[in-house]
């Protein structure tokens, strides 16, 4: 007897047993026909029906769930959904089936049905006091409907019960911010009061309450609120920071400076406060103080190999109308470490000009020596180098050749003694310059090289205001030890190095390889790097070009502080670029995303998404940002939004499905990923190595 004949006989026996009402015996026969594959679907359907008739609900549900899984594996999602709905009718208390049905609705894009299922499930779980599971379901609801404020408030309540106070406060703030955006200020205030009851001085809560006060034109109440917090804890740095920003908004720079100085006194490493203070001192024209606050940040960035960001920060100081020598020297160090010969030459020429004005011959010689090493073919450097050496009473090469060994030794010893005088007074940079000059003349001398190494380990802690007096002390000691050295008259500047012909160090040069966009308040005769009254479209393109040079990496606290400068740029841009210039906002979103400024990118993309023609692309940018932040659930939400907008069964739809599947992989939801990859494969089996993706998941599962 063949297998087919045997199956036919079993089916015949089973049907007879059903007619006689012997359902259990019939099920036993039908079980003999099961093979474990999709061909079992009709048999399992019969078995499920027989179980229902027999009142065996659990067994019926088990059969129908297997059928749903088989349909899902085949990609017949409509039948899988229909089967699960049948299970839900048989056993409405089965939360597992409800969850499965909700997930399936969501993956197939049935948004309203998915929300209904998740909501029903969330309420049941909350009722059963299964708070952790309920939290997961309410979060799923919010992923699909971010405007559901009722669910956010319930979620805050559940977080509080689970002891997750910060999460509860965050959800309450989200509700309040939504209400603020709708101008429902009284309701927003009530919600924020709940948040304050949980934690009185939570920064986001305070910021939102202050935002309400500002909208209600109650700035006095805003200051009063911050004062109350500071009266209880005068060292609350976050409250102080909010206060400082309030003063800045009121253009009360003196008060703002006072507050940020308090912050840095308590926390010298507070990057945000240092950046704010530096900008305030720049606006006042006090570049020395600005440099003092920026220098530690610059050094930190340089140690982290983020020289481009450090250069950008220094560039803010150099946007003033007058050069600042200490900033130029630090900038030269950074360009030197990057091996950027072009910009190093420009900066060194500016430094040289300043040294020339001050008649600081030894420093001039050191800079000229470096320029000559970088560009030996440039005659103007050689000529001035030679001339400066003569003015300092140093020998030319041919004269040096006639010196005896003892005479050379005497020159070295004398100069090293001068170096020690500078070191004693803490003038480390001056000492280093003299050594560099000496090293150019005698590169192989061991004493010079040892002194250079020794100097590398010494850090200078001298204050800028002490420098003149200490230099005076050095000159006095030099005169006592070595006699008076008469300075020759100040030479005229070589024609090739005169200001009119000198290549200027522009803001564009400084920022050309950074992600910092400086915005300094405009004063008479002062230029800004970005003239926002001009051509904003071209400026956005310029920003994109600038950003392409930025070092990649996770956004650190330092980078976040520096992104505050970018935020100033965006505010200024908003004044010049209309909210409806969606193309410009989209370009800016892409630029921000490429440089790791994900929050800024999301904000710009949301504006761009208001243009229906750009909405899908904008949602994709938003999703990419969240994915890079490893917030995969949020990334999924925005990809689904994009998918809802594109035409079905066209390449953009399948491209988005592929992306969604990839995010499901990140979430470890391989079954969902597999289903979507199979859809893509059915459309185009060669699309982005989709077959390899499918095989990889099958191996994992």
pLDDT score at 577: 53
pLDDT score at 537: 45
d(CA 654, CA 680): 6
Torsion angle of the four alpha carbons 506, 512, 513, 518, in this order, in degrees rounded to the nearest 10? 70
Mean pLDDT of 267-287: 88
Handedness of CA 550, 551, 554, 559 (dihedral sign): negative
306-359 pLDDT, tens digit each: 888 888 888 888 876 678 999 999 999 999 988 888 889 999 999 999 999 989
- The CA-atom distances, in angstroms, between 370 and each of 350, 376, 689 are 14, 10, 54
pLDDT score at 305: 87
pLDDT score at 33: 83
Structural contact between residues 425 and 470, judged by C-beta atoms closer than 8 angstroms: yes
Domain 1-92: assigned CATH number: 1.25.40.10
Q: Is the pLDDT of residue 96 over 50?
A: yes
d(CA 2, CA 7): 9
Rg (the chain; Cα; Å): 36
Q: How many CA within 13 A on the CB side of residue 304?
A: 19
132: phi then psi, degrees, rounded to nearest 5: -60, -45
Structural contact between residues 219 and 239, judged by C-beta atoms closer than 8 angstroms: no
**Of residues 663, 571, 570, 652, the one with CA closest to residue 617:** 652
Tokens found for residue 122: 């969330």
Alpha helices in 378-503 (DSSP H): 379-391, 397-400, 405-424, 428-441, 446-456, 467-482
Structural contact between residues 658 and 690, judged by C-beta atoms closer than 8 angstroms: yes
Mean pLDDT of 288-293: 91
Which residues, at least 6 apart from 245, have a Cβ–Cβ distance to it below 8 Å? 256
Distance between first and last Cα of the chain:
39
- pLDDT range class, residue 2, cuts 50, 70, 90: low
Structural contact between residues 556 and 304, judged by C-beta atoms closer than 8 angstroms: yes
pLDDT score at 493: 43
pLDDT score at 494: 44
Chain centroid to CA 300: 17
pLDDT score at 635: 92
The lowest-confidence range among 431-435, 458-462, 515-519, 651-655 is 515-519
Q: What interhelical angle do 41-53 and 57-74 show, nearest 10?
A: 160
Tokens found for residue 530: 């970005």
d(CA 219, CA 209): 11
pLDDT score at 258: 92
Mean pLDDT of 420-449: 79
- pLDDT range class, residue 593, cuts 50, 70, 90: confident
Which residues, at least 6 apart from 668, have a Cβ–Cβ distance to it below 8 Å? none
pLDDT score at 123: 92
Please state, rounded to an integer, the average pLDDT across all residues of the chain. 79
- pLDDT range class, residue 135, cuts 50, 70, 90: very high
pLDDT score at 547: 38
- pLDDT range class, residue 174, cuts 50, 70, 90: very high
The lowest-confidence range among 117-126, 250-259, 306-315 is 306-315
**Which range has highest mean pLDDT (44-53, 431-440, 481-490, 569-578)?**
44-53
DSSP state of 91: -
Mean pLDDT of 165-189: 92
Q: Tell me what percent of the residues of the chain surpass a pLDDT of 70.
A: 81
Q: Is the pLDDT of residue 117 over 50?
A: yes
Q: Is the pLDDT of residue 195 over 90?
A: yes
Q: What angle do CA 15, 18, 20 make, to 5 degrees?
A: 115
The lowest-confidence range among 215-224, 389-398, 442-451, 492-501 is 492-501
Structural contact between residues 487 and 280, judged by C-beta atoms closer than 8 angstroms: no
Structural contact between residues 375 and 381, judged by C-beta atoms closer than 8 angstroms: yes
Q: Is the pLDDT of residue 65 over 80?
A: yes
Q: Is 521 in a helix, a strand, or coil? A: coil
- pLDDT range class, residue 139, cuts 50, 70, 90: very high
Query: Does pTM surpass 0.75?
Result: no
pLDDT score at 555: 35
The lowest-confidence range among 140-144, 358-362, 573-577 is 573-577
**Of residues 669, 308, 356, 686, the one with CA closest to residue 510:** 308
pLDDT score at 575: 54
The lowest-confidence range among 35-39, 53-57, 493-497, 581-585 is 493-497
453-465 pLDDT, tens digit each: 888 777 666 665 5
Mean pLDDT of 243-271: 89
pLDDT score at 440: 73
d(CA 83, CA 78): 9
DSSP state of 302: H
pLDDT score at 603: 86
619-645 pLDDT, tens digit each: 999 999 999 888 899 999 999 999 999
In the block, residue with structure tokens 């008060």: 255
């Amino acid at each position: 007897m063949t297998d087919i004949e045997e199956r036919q006989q079993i089916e015949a026996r089973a049907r007879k047993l059903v007619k006689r009402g012997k359902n259990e015996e019939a099920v036993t026969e039908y079980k003999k026909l099961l093979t474990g594959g999709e061909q079992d679907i009709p048999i399992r359907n019969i078995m499920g029906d027989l179980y229902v008739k027999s009142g065996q609900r659990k067994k019926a549900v088990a059969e129908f769930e297997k059928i749903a899984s088989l349909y899902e594996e085949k990609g017949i999602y409509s039948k899988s959904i229909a089967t699960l709905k049948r299970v839900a009718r048989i056993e409405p208390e089965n939360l597992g089936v409800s969850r499965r049905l909700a997930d399936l609705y969501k993956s197939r894009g049935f948004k309203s049905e998915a929300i209904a299922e998740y909501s029903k499930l969330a309420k049941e779980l909350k009722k059963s006091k299964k708070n952790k599971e309920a939290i997961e379901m309410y979060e799923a609801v919010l992923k699909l409907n971010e405007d559901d404020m009722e669910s956010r408030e319930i979620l805050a309540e559940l977080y509080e019960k689970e002891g997750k106070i910060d999460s509860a406060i965050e959800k309450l703030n989200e509700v309040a911010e939504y209400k603020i955006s709708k101008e429902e200020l009284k309701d927003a205030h009530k919600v924020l009061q709940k948040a304050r009851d949980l934690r009185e001085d939570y920064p986001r809560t305070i910021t939102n309450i202050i935002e309400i006060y500002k909208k209600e034109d109650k700035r006095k109440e805003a200051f009063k609120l911050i004062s109350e917090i500071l009266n209880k804890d005068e060292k609350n740095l976050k409250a102080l920071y909010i206060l400082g920003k309030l003063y800045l908004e009121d253009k009360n720079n003196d008060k703002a400076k006072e507050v940020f100085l308090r912050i840095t006194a308590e926390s010298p490493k507070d990057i945000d406060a240092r950046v704010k203070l530096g900008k305030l001192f720049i606006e006042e024209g006090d570049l020395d103080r600005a440099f003092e606050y920026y220098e530690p940040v610059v050094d930190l960035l340089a140690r982290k190999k983020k020289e481009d960001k450090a250069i950008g920060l220094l560039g803010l100081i150099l946007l003033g109308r007058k050069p600042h020598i200490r900033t130029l020297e630090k900038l030269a160090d950074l360009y030197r470490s990057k091996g950027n010969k072009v910009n190093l030459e420009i900066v060194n020429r500016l430094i040289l000009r300043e040294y020339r004005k001050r008649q600081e011959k030894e420093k001039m010689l050191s800079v000229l020596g470096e320029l000559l090493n970088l560009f030996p073919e440039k005659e103007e450097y050689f000529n001035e180098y030679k001339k400066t050496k003569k003015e300092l009473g140093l020998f030319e090469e041919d004269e040096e050749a006639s010196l005896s060994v003892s005479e050379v030794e005497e020159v070295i010893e004398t100069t090293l003694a001068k170096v020690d005088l500078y070191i004693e007074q803490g003038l480390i940079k001056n000492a280093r310059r003299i050594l560099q000059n000496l090293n150019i003349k005698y590169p192989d001398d061991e004493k010079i090289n040892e002194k250079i190494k020794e100097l590398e380990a010494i850090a200078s802690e001298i204050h800028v205001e002490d420098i003149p007096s200490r230099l005076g002390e050095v000159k006095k000691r030099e005169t006592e030890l070595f006699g008076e050295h008469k300075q020759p008259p100040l030479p005229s500047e070589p024609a090739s190095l005169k200001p009119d012909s000198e290549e200027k160090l522009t803001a564009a040069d400084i920022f050309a390889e950074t992600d910092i966009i400086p915005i300094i308040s405009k004063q008479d005769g002062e230029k800004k790097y970005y003239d926002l009254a001009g051509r904003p479209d071209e400026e956005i393109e310029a920003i994109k070009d600038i950003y392409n040079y930025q070092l990649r990496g996770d956004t650190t606290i330092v980078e976040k502080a520096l992104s505050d400068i970018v935020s100033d740029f965006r505010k200024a841009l908003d004044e010049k670029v209309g909210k409806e210039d969606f193309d410009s906002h989209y370009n800016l979103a892409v630029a921000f995303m490429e440089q790791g400024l994900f929050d800024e990118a999301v904000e710009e993309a949301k504006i761009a998404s208001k243009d229906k023609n750009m909405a899908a692309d904008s949602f994709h940018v938003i999703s990419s940002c969240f994915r890079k932040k490893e917030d995969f659930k949020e990334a999924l939400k925005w990809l689904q939004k994009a998918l809802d907008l594109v035409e079905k069964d066209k390449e953009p739809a399948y491209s988005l499905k592929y992306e969604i599947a990839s995010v499901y992989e990140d979430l470890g939801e391989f079954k969902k990923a597999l289903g979507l990859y199979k859809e893509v494969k059915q459309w185009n089996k060669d699309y982005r190595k989709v077959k390899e993706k499918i095989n990889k998941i099958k191996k994992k599962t």
